[in-house]
Structure 1
Amino acid sequence: MAPRATAAPTLHKVIMVGSGGVGKSALTLQFMYDEFVEDYEPTKADSYRKKVVLDGEEVQIDILDTAGQEDYAAIRDNYFRSGEGFLCVFSITEPESFDATQEFREQILRVKNDENIPFLLVGNKSDLQEKRRVPLDACTERAAAWRVPYVETSAKTRDNVDKVFFDLMREIRSRKSDDSRASNGQVKKGKSKRFKCQIL
């Protein structure tokens, strides 16, 4: 008897966003290959794919590492459309990169038209505490205002690197199961609250 074809592992599409130089590529490469790349050429946009085991289930993660300094908003919009979840990265040593997360968040919400998109705010370079210039309070307040998790990482020491990718995949997975239940005729939860501040 021919062996039964197994279903392809579920694919979760993750997009890395953030200013240039905050360590998006370093985080991605550390997660993919367990190596720290200090001097990485500015990314155009690189895509990576890897099989991982998420809570006992084999899945594939597809990571699009976007260029933080890219000026092509239209291309960026296309990237955002294709993503199922976002890691929004800044450096705890650069207040400007923290400020820029606001703009990335707004752009993603505009493109996705969805307040509840899987999203993590990531403060990278946690190994450089002595050079820290973005207070922890400010980071946690912003994450609370956006109702998203906040995690600090270090691509150099690998601290929390796996955590942010796996946490985001869990959010994407739970979102997909909500969506599939909704398309089976059940009411989608959390949809109505987008209209809470209409001024008539």
Structure 2
Amino acid sequence: CATTGTPQKIRLRLAKYRLVVVCGGGVGKSALTIQFIQSYVVTDYDPTIEDSYTKQCVLDDRAGRLDILDTAGQEEFGAMREQYMRTGKGFLLVFSVTDRGSFEEISKFQRQILRAKDLALDHQRQRRKGQQVARQLKVTYMEASAKIRMNVDQAIHELILVIRKFQEQECPPSPEPIWKEKDKKGCHCVIF
């Protein structure tokens, strides 16, 4: 992956790739990640809890944005690592050629990824079912999350628009009244 040389404004939407680097503690995933991102060799071991990096690059004449998540290798952070695995699109499983145990852990991490991605697939299946039911009922399907404030306002606004549309169909608004001048008797006439 070559970085883009001179800064250019790319108007096209960049392809995004969410990569997760996984291995046990002290194996070298952070050193590998930092070398890729910054072309810098890390010589000291500093346990990672979580680091994320972003890099724009061009591969095969196609620009893209890489979001790389460097996960914690220590076992006590396994739950956090599994959450990252659910959102990752690609995984770099790292082991040390000088540490046989780190090589043997690779299959454990692969199983963890497959288990996490299966949960993600369950969510996708539920999403598809929700969309299908919405089509059958001829209603709008929208996912919302209070936790991350996703589509909260939009869901309420969409519902208000549906209510308005329904009310207008059931009871169309009357045309604006046209006021006429006073007639000969001094009365006002309203014409609809």
Shorter-chain TM-score category? 0.5 to 0.7
Tell me, yes or no, if the aligned pair for 1:25 and 1:40 is still in contact at 8 Å: no
Return 5+ residue gaps in structure 2 as ranges: 1-9, 120-192
Q: Does 1:81 align with 2:86?
A: yes
Larger deviation: 16-25 or 66-75? 66-75
RMSD: 1.8
Aligned equivalents of 1:101 and 1:62: distance in 2?
22
**Number of the residue aligned with 1:33:** 38
Equivalent AA in structure 1 for residue 85 of structure 2: F
Question: What is the TM-score of this pair, normalised by structure 2?
Answer: 0.55
Q: Does 1:63 align with 2:77?
A: no
**Number of the residue aligned with 1:164:** none
Shift of 1:77: 1.5
Q: Does 1:103 align with 2:111?
A: no
**Number of the residue aligned with 1:12:** 17
1:91 is paired with a residue of what secondary structure? coil
Aligned length, in residue pairs: 111
Tell me, yes or no, if the aligned pair for 2:14 and 2:64 is still in contact at 8 Å: yes
**Number of the residue aligned with 2:27:** 22
Tell me, yes or no, if the aligned pair for 1:52 and 1:60 is still in contact at 8 Å: yes
Tell me, yes or no, if the aligned pair for 2:26 and 2:45 is still in contact at 8 Å: no
Question: What is the TM-score of this pair, normalised by structure 1?
Answer: 0.53
Tell me, yes or no, if the aligned pair for 2:49 and 2:77 is still in contact at 8 Å: no
Shift of 1:72: 3.2
For 1:1-200, list aligned pairs within 5 A: 6-113=11-118
Relative to structure 1, the CA distance from residue 72 to residue 43 in structure 2 (aligned partners, 3 Å threshold; closer, same or farther) is closer
Equivalent AA in structure 2 for residue 46 of structure 1: D
2:19 is paired with a residue of what secondary structure? strand
Return 5+ residue gaps in structure 1 as ranges: 115-200
Shift of 1:107: 0.5
Aligned equivalents of 1:16 and 1:70: distance in 2?
15
Q: Choose 1 or 2 for highest CA Rg.
A: 2
**Larger RCO of the pair (alpha carbons < 8 Å, separation 6+):** 1
Tell me, yes or no, if the aligned pair for 1:47 and 1:64 is still in contact at 8 Å: yes
Shift of 1:95: 0.6
Aligned equivalents of 1:92 and 1:57: distance in 2?
33
Equivalent AA in structure 2 for residue 49 of structure 1: T
